[in-house]
């Protein structure tokens, strides 16, 4: 029996033909797998699959179970599952989970579902204490009077906002005067009794906005304390700092201690070892540098000794998990255009910590769910396959696939070859690039070719699988894609990662030109049909390339790119990013050089190439005027141009119909211009 029964039959029944090519509609029909929980007692893995319905314009997420041996797959609930697993470690197989802000239980087979809580209102990020007597959750609390109706009782219909400081909006929402706090309460007869605000009277957030969740707070293993992450700053200080800290709140005396005092950058993702003697977390050193080297720090709670475990390792740590015996840590990190699992040993000894790469291959390991004996349960992607759950042998690193949610589609799909290519840069460095070929590639023919410009600017260009910037979909439309690991990306040493800061318009842009020039030497590349596409820093790169490409390219697509660094600095929200990456404000006496030599608007007179501009209306990281200014320039210069404005989308495109529209317009533009 396959691992999720009915869902596989639904996928198999899709109207697909043998060796068809990827389309936007087919891409959105793929099941999106997320690993949820592992139970080493009952030897099962829980995972969710999200599917999208075009007519409803939304997704439905359901919960499944499969044995670690690959047997016994089943659907646990026909109802959409929108919560998270709270407990799945009981020998009886009872699963405790959050659903619509309440606590539920069910048997291992999905039967006998019971709501065991009856909270007055749904609770967010629910957790149960290890001893089972208390709950932990987050909730918004009023902190500042922002709305006109809050400031003046006789103006109840006023919808005005009043601000006296910065951080008035963040990512895609306006500050509403509330902050997120952590609460705990006794759990008796399905009720939360006498809830306590861990951050009482503090104007700070936990979970961290805009993306923080359950990973930002947790119980101590003895149920006597709560560890949480917070950046205890407000206003201008908040907007210019990345200094989050790890705090320990003790229930007995209601006191709080800063465990990362003096550590000035991001401190995140705390987790205890099995017996609670060690607490580890991710840590960056520099305040204001959101892409600094991410290390793993461990604190011995008995001795008070703190140790940076990866300070001597030339890489940056992503997500991680304790080994089941607490003598190792498994972590993910970018390496040479992929993301792999690493083993970190000698944690609690006097020996030097040791880092060893466990997995190898042309794929990404996206997340580590947990461990069962000598097997790690994790998720894996590559540029031709969406995420599925795999097992990795902890000795050899060998992978075996556990779920097969999308196999029926892949069997009918013609895949494009993905190839590693090495490019010599203008300063003599070796740069890795990924090349993706059309499924029916014939080296005797000539193909239009796209330069893909990655965002970040310090995010890895690895073997990811995107449901928007999908390389398989681009290749299926007849394009060769070259995706270079230009300066600024992790996975090629800390220095390579750092080299983009303060040099946005310099070597990274030359790296892009080196990549397109290199592949253009191939006889199968049509040198008269070259395009460049990208989003965020990739969109900025498109705007820069439009002024310096010397007629290499015939078409551009820029999504949420930075066009004018002056107006961007004046309207973006996380100013620490701008201060670090471009050097600070434009009104300083010693104005950063970036405003002149890395500012696309300074090259406006050089623009002469067709360009499509995509802009999200609620993108406050790269606000709307950036796209509008670029479109207005192209229009007034008489350049063929198009504006795709998405009023309710932020820095990404999350709606299904908007996502399909984005892809249709993307390829329509390329067809018109290439």
Q: What span, in angstroms and rounded, lies between the C-alpha atoms of 289 and 265?
A: 7
3-class secondary structure for 193-225?
EEEEECCCCCCCCCCCCCCCCHHHEEECCCCCE
The DSSP H or E segment spanning 625 is helix 625-636
Give the DSSP letter string of 306-331: EEESSTTSSS----EEE-TTSS-EEE
User: Which residues are part of the catalytic machinery?
Assistant: 536, 619, 651
| 3-class secondary-structure state, position 566 | helix
Give the DSSP letter string of 495-544: HHHHTTTT-TTSHHHHHHHHHHHHHTTSTTEEEEEEEEEEETHHHHHHHH
Strands (E), 360-446: 364-372, 375-382, 385-393, 399-401, 418-424, 430-436
Residue 165, phi then psi, degrees to nearest 5: -155, 175
Whether 202 and 256 have beta carbons less than 8 Å apart is answered as no
Q: What span, in angstroms and rounded, lies between the C-alpha atoms of 217 and 213?
A: 8
As to burial, measured by CB atoms within 10 angstroms (0-12 exposed, 13-18 middle, 19+ buried), residue 33 is: buried
Closest CA to 460 of 346, 573, 339, 367: 339
Give the DSSP letter string of 78-123: SS---SEEEE---TT--EEEEETTEEEEE-TTS-S-EE----SS--
Closest CA to 485 of 517, 523, 446, 453: 453
């Amino acid at each position: 029996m396959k691992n999720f029964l009915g869902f596989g039959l639904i996928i198999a029944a899709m109207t697909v033909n043998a060796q068809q090519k990827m389309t936007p509609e087919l891409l959105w029909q793929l099941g999106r797998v997320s690993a949820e929980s592992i139970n080493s007692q009952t030897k099962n893995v829980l995972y969710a699959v999200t599917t999208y319905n075009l007519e409803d314009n939304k997704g439905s997420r359901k919960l499944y179970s499969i044995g670690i041996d690959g047997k016994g797959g089943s659907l646990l609930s026909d109802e959409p599952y929108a919560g998270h697993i709270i407990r799945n470690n009981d020998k009886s197989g009872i699963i405790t989970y959050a659903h619509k802000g309440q606590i539920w239980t069910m048997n291992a087979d999905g039967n006998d579902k019971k709501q065991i809580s009856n909270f007055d209102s749904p609770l967010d990020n629910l957790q149960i204490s290890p001893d089972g007597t208390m709950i932990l959750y987050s909730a918004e609390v009023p902190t500042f009077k922002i709305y006109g109706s809050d400031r003046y009782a006789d103006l109840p219909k006023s919808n005005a906002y009043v601000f006296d400081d910065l951080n008035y909006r963040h990512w895609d929402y306006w500050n509403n005067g509330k902050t997120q706090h952590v609460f705990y309460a006794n759990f008796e007869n399905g009720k939360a009794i006498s809830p306590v605000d861990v951050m009482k009277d503090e104007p700070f957030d936990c979970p961290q906005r805009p993306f923080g969740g359950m990973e930002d707070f947790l119980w101590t293993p003895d149920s006597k304390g709560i560890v949480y992450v917070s950046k205890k700053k407000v206003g201008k200080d908040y907007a210019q700092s990345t200094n989050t800290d790890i705090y320990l709140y003790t229930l007995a005396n209601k006191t709080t201690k800063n465990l990362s005092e003096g550590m000035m950058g991001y401190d995140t993702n705390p987790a205890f070892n099995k017996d609670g003697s060690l607490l580890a977390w991710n840590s960056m050193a520099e305040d204001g540098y959101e892409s600094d080297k991410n290390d793993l720090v461990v604190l011995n709670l008995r001795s008070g000794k703190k140790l940076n475990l990866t300070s001597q390792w030339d890489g940056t740590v992503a997500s991680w998990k304790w080994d089941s015996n607490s003598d190792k840590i498994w972590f993910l990190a970018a390496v040479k255009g992929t993301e792999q699992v690493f083993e970190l040993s000698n944690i609690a000894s006097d020996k030097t910590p040791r880092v060893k790469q466990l997995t190898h291959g042309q794929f990404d390991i996206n997340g580590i769910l947990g461990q069962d004996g000598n097997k790690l349960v994790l998720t894996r992607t590559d540029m031709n396959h969406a995420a599925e759950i795999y097992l990795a042998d902890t000795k050899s690193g060998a992978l075996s696939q556990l779920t097969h949610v999308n196999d029926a589609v892949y069997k009918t799909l013609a895949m494009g070859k993905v190839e590693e290519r090495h490019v010599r840069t203008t300063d003599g460095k070796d740069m890795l690039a990924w090349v993706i070929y059309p499924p029916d590639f014939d080296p005797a023919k000539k193909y239009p070719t796209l330069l893909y410009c990655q965002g970040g600017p310090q995010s890895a260009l690895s073997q990811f699988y995107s449901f928007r910037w999908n390389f398989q979909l681009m290749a299926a439309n007849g394009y060769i894609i070259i995706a270079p690991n230009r300066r600024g990306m992790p996975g090629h040493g800390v220095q390579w990662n750092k080299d983009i800061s303060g040099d946005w318009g310099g070597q990274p842009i030359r790296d892009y030109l080196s990549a397109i020039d290199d592949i253009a030497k191939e006889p199968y590349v049509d040198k008269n049909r070259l395009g460049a596409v990208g989003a965020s820093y990739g969109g900025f790169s498109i705007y820069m390339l439009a002024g310096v490409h010397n007629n290499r390219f015939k078409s551009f697509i820029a999504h949420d790119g930075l066009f004018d660094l002056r107006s961007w600095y004046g309207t973006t929200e996380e100013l620490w990013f701008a201060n670090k990456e471009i050097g600070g404000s434009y009104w300083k006496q010693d104005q950063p050089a970036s405003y002149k030599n890395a500012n696309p608007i300074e090259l406006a007179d050089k623009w002469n190439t067709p360009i499509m501009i995509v802009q999200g209306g609620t993108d406050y990281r790269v606000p709307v005027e950036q796209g509008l200014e670029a479109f207005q320039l192209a229009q007034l210069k008489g350049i063929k141009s198009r504006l795709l404005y998405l009023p309710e989308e932020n820095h990404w495109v999350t709606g299904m119909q908007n996502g399909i529209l984005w892809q249709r317009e993307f390829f329509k533009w390329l067809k018109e211009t290439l």
